[in-house]
Every structure is written in C-alpha cells, then in structure tokens.
C-alpha cells in the first residue's frame, strides 16, 4: 500500500509540474510544490523513519498530511489536487479505529467541500465531493482489510511459535521419561538376572570340583564387574539435570519482527517439571506481548539464569515505561501462574527507560 501511495503522489506531482502558470492563483506553482513536498515528507517519516508499530508521533504526521492536502487544494484549484485526500484517508484507516476515522473523514471532507464551494466557486460542490468520497471509502476499506490481514498473520505466527515452543518442552519431557524407562529396565531385568547368576556361581564355587574352581572364580568376578557397570550406567541415565528452556524460548521469539530481542539462557538454568517450564514459557510470552502492544520499544532483553535452588528470569525493554505501572489482566495472569509453582513477580523501572519484570521460581 505504501508503494501505491508513492505512485499516486508521483502521478499528481507530474501533472502539477506540467500545469501552466495560469492554473495557479499566484501565477506559479511554488506553493503547490511546497505543499506536495510537505505531504511526502510527513508520509516518509511516518512509514520509514519512525519506530515500527503504532506510535504517538503518527497522529501529528497525519495532521500534517491532511493540512498539506487541503493547502494544495486551495493553491491548485484542479480536480487532481484532491487525489491526495484518498491517500490521506487510507493512511488514517491503517492507524485509527472506526469512530475516530469517521470523525476525521467527516471533518476533512467538510473542509474539502468548503474549499470547492468558496475557493473554487463550484455551483454543485457536493457532486464533486461525492465522487471523491467513493474513492476514499474504497481506499479506507482496502486499508482496513490489509491491516486486519496483517494482524491475523501476526497472530497466526505467534500461535505457531507457541505451539512449537510447547512441542519442544514435550519432546524434552518425553526424552526424560524414556531415560527413566531404560534405567528401570536395566536395573530390574539385567540387574536381577546378573544377581541371580552371581548367587549361582557362588554356590558352585563352594560345592564344585577343585579343578573348575579357578574358572568359576573368574566368571563370578566378571559377573560382579558387569553388575557394577550396569549399576553405574543406571545411575548415569537416571541423573536428571532438568528441562532445557533455550530451544523453546528461541522458537517463541523467532516470529516477532520487532522489537529486537536479546536472549540469554545459562546452561544450568533448568527446571524439574513440565509444569514449571510451561509457566516460565507463558510468562515470557505474556511479557513479550505486553512489550509489543504497549512499550513501543526498539529492544527487549530476556535473561534466564540459576541462583541456588531458584531460577531467575528477567524481561526488560527500552520503551516508554510509565511507573507505577497499571497492572491489567496480563500481569495478573502472570502472577497467578507463578503463584501456582511458588514463584514471584516484581515490576520495576528499567535502566534507560522501559519496564523490567523480575521473576523467580523454584527449580523443583
């Protein structure tokens, strides 16, 4: 849609430059070109220079676009001038909700009608305006559907990321259960039979022929060593170092184009159960959602590390943090999840601006 807006601006600008001097009330097109350049500058700043995502600076820039369009209509009384109004209304539709968009559209088109009736002295200004209203409505609906499709695609990406992260946790848990099953099988089956073999060899050694005593001792020694080896393998397999959250967190942040996320996960930052891992994962998910929706940050940092028998999770951003922060359902849900596993959540101002979430949870 930005490409279409640039193409429209270029088309209007070419017609403006090629218009004869008598087409302008002051006899030259300098003022009209200035209005066109101001419109383009506001559009470029809003779409390219500003931080990604909605920002408070969008609305003053939209006001500049609208005023530049009306000024162009005043100094260039030709039917090409109001074409920029279509771009302006489509731009508003990308950022504004329906009530605000309708209010701005009515006010803008009232000013446009006044210019056509008073400045251009058109006898039927409303007919002229009706044509452009149809184009504006079409552009606004197109922009609205594009915005909704973009939002839906982003939600689908996040949902897919959540599913991949959850699958990663389940795979890690399944591998852990498989290790425990193998350990039990080795201990219960092989260990039991080796123990029985050793007992029988001991009985043979006591009652057997003196000629076979050395061989029986060797076999008995090998059985003892094999039993000790199996017990060592079982102990190693059963050794549980916790669920690794690195892969799950990485899959969670991949689909987010902004802000730029810096992830740090210590090697020993693991938890014992899937429920604890799921809680930390959902807390990170909700924290990132709040940053994307409200912080308008350029960067976010996620740090997970172990301290004693606790894991510490930090989520912070460099956005526009307003303290004290009014807690909504998102933060309340995070607190409830952490309470269920014995964890805590503190909301603090981040150094350099933004908000920091300090989370602790027990490892086991």
DSSP 193-257: HHHHHHHHHHHHHHHS-GGGHHHHHHHHHHHHHHHHHHHHHHHHHH----EE-HHHHHHHHTT--
Residue 52 has pLDDT above 60, yes or no: no
Residue 69 confidence (pLDDT): 92
268 secondary structure, DSSP code: T
Residue 211 has pLDDT above 80, yes or no: no
Alpha-carbon gap, residue 84 to 38, rounded angstroms: 12
- Phi, psi of 138, deg, nearest 5: -60, -45
Alpha-carbon gap, residue 22 to 30, rounded angstroms: 13
Cβ pair 132, 86 in contact under 8 A = yes
List the single range of 192-201, 282-291, 320-329 with lowest mean pLDDT: 320-329
DSSP 217-233: HHHHHHHHHHHHHHHHH
Residue 70 confidence (pLDDT): 92
- Higher-confidence residue of 94 and 160: namely 94
58 to 5, 47, 102: CA distances (angstroms): 16, 9, 17
Residue 55 confidence (pLDDT): 64
- pTM attached to this predicted model: 0.56
265 secondary structure, DSSP code: E
For 143-193, the pLDDT digits (tens) are 888 888 877 776 777 677 777 777 777 776 677 677 677 777 776 767 777
- Beta-carbon contacts of residue 106 (< 8 Å; ≥ 6 apart): none
Residue 34 confidence (pLDDT): 92
3 state SS of 361:
strand
Alpha-carbon gap, residue 310 to 362, rounded angstroms: 4
Alpha-carbon gap, residue 243 to 363, rounded angstroms: 10
For residue 304, what are the β-bridge partners? 265, 313
Residue 236 confidence (pLDDT): 60
Q: How many CB atoms lie within 10 A of CB 70?
A: 20
Residue 332 confidence (pLDDT): 83
- Measured in whole angstroms, how far is the alpha carbon of residue 125 from the centre of its chain? 48
Residue 238 has pLDDT above 70, yes or no: no
Alpha-carbon gap, residue 91 to 65, rounded angstroms: 9
Taking residues 56-62, report their average pLDDT.
82
Taking residues 207-221, report their average pLDDT.
68
Alpha-carbon gap, residue 273 to 74, rounded angstroms: 70
Q: Tokens 């270029």: give the residue.
A: 10
Q: Tokens 């109004």: give the residue.
A: 85
Chain mean pLDDT for the chain: 80
- Reported confidence tier of residue 88, pLDDT bands at 50, 70, 90: very high
Residue 64 has pLDDT above 90, yes or no: yes
DSSP 136-173: HHHHHHHHHHHHHHHHHHHHHHHHHHHHHHHHHHHHHH
Q: Check whether the bond before 104 is cis (ω within 30° of 0).
A: no
Residue 234 confidence (pLDDT): 65
For 163-176, the pLDDT digits (tens) are 777 777 777 667 76
For residue 260, what are the β-bridge partners? 299
- Higher-confidence residue of 223 and 234: namely 223
78 secondary structure, DSSP code: S
Cβ pair 322, 294 in contact under 8 A = no
Alpha-carbon gap, residue 317 to 297, rounded angstroms: 6
């Amino acid at each position: 849609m930005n490409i279409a807006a640039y193409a429209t601006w270029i088309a209007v600008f070419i017609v403006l430059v090629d218009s004869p001097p008598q087409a302008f009330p002051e006899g030259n097109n300098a003022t009209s070109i200035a209005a066109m350049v101001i419109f383009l500058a506001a559009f470029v700043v809003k779409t390219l220079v500003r931080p990604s995502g909605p920002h408070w600076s969008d609305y003053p820039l939209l006001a500049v676009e609208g005023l530049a369009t009306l000024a162009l209509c005043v100094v260039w009384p030709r039917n090409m001038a109001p074409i920029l109004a279509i771009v302006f209304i489509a731009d508003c539709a990308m950022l504004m909700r329906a009530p605000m968009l309708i209010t701005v559209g009515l006010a803008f088109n009232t000013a446009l009608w006044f210019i056509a009736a008073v400045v251009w002295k058109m006898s039927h200004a409303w007919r002229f305006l009706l044509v452009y209203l149809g184009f504006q409505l079409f552009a606004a609906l197109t922009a609205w559907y594009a915005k909704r499709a973009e939002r839906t695609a982003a939600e689908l990406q996040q949902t897919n990321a959540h599913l991949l992260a959850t699958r990663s946790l389940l795979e890690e848990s399944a591998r852990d259960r498989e290790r425990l099953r193998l350990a039990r099988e080795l201990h219960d089956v092989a260990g039991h039979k080796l123990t029985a073999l050793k007992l029988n060899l001991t009985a043979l050694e006591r009652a057997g022929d003196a000629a076979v005593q050395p061989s029986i001792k060797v076999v008995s020694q090998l059985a003892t060593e094999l039993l000790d080896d199996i017990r060592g393998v079982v102990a190693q397999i059963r050794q549980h170092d916790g669920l690794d959250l690195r892969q799950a967190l990485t899959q969670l942040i991949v689909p987010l184009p902004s802000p730029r996320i810096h992830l740090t996960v210590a090697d020993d930052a693991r938890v014992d159960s899937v429920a604890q891992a799921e809680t930390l994962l959902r807390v990170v998910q909700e924290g990132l959602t709040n940053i994307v929706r409200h912080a308008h940050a350029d960067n976010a940092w996620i740090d997970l590390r172990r301290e004693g028998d606790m894991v510490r999770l930090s989520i912070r951003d460099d956005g526009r943090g307003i303290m004290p922060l009014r807690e909504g359902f998102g933060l309340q849900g995070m607190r409830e999840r952490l309470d269920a596993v014995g964890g805590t959540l503190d909301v603090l101002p981040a150094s350099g601006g933004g908000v920091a979430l300090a989370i602790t949870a027990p490892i086991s």
